[in-house]
Amino acid sequence: MLHFLLQNNRKKVIGEYILRTLILLLLSILISFIILVTFFLPSFFFAEYKNKTVLEQAQSVNLTSVKKYESSVSFMKNINGMAKALSYGKSRNTLITDLINKIILLKNPAITISDISLASNDSVHTENIIIKGISGSRDGLTSFYNDLKGDGSFQNVILPVSSLIEDTNAPFTITLSYATN
């Protein structure tokens, strides 16, 4: 093959060719990077702005909504309590006073009532009246128990056997159950 360049000059030309190719490759990579950054930079700033805006709105909404939520929850609890007291309490109070009057009328002279309390059982929709007192005699207590049971106003009358152990001055507890509407 015919060579027009000398060996020394040929090495220079090949070196310059490789150098120009590397410079062109690096220049194309640099231009691609600049174009890429130019196109993605506005998107990055827009995403950052959107993120900050959303966080600020979430914080402001969170603070105000939590306060509004807490105040509305407490307001609703108060309203529900008042509604329950007003609607449920009227019919219940008249019923309870009637039942307590009936208990007092059925009480015989041997019985001394010291405490009457109420307990509700919402799962079964029953209320309990708990009567505590002292019985002068065992016969008076059983008579009172039988009168309460025979009256028919109560679903269940419970007198523990332990109340019948002592013959005189025996403390007792009777639980009366009645249905609520």
Round the average pLDDT of the chain to a whole number and report it: 82
What pTM was estimated for this model as a whole?
0.48
3-state secondary structure of 136: coil
Write out the two tokens for 173. 């507890």
Structure-token pair, residue 96: 């309870």
**Would you give per-residue pLDDT tens digits along the chain (181 residues)?**
556 767 778 888 889 999 999 999 999 999 999 999 999 988 989 999 999 998 888 787 766 666 666 676 677 777 776 666 555 444 454 577 888 888 888 999 989 999 888 887 766 677 888 999 999 988 999 999 999 999 888 888 999 888 888 888 889 999 988 876 5
153 φ, ψ to 5°? Answer: -80, -20
Structure tokens at 99: 């039942």
Q: Please give the sequence-ordered ranges of beta strands (E in DSSP) within 10-137, or none if there are none.
A: 111-121, 126-135
Give bridge partners of residue 144 from the DSSP assignment.
none
Rounded-to-integer distance, Cα 102 and Cα 147, Å:
10
pLDDT 10s digits, 125-173: 778 889 999 999 889 999 999 999 998 888 889 998 888 888 888 899 9
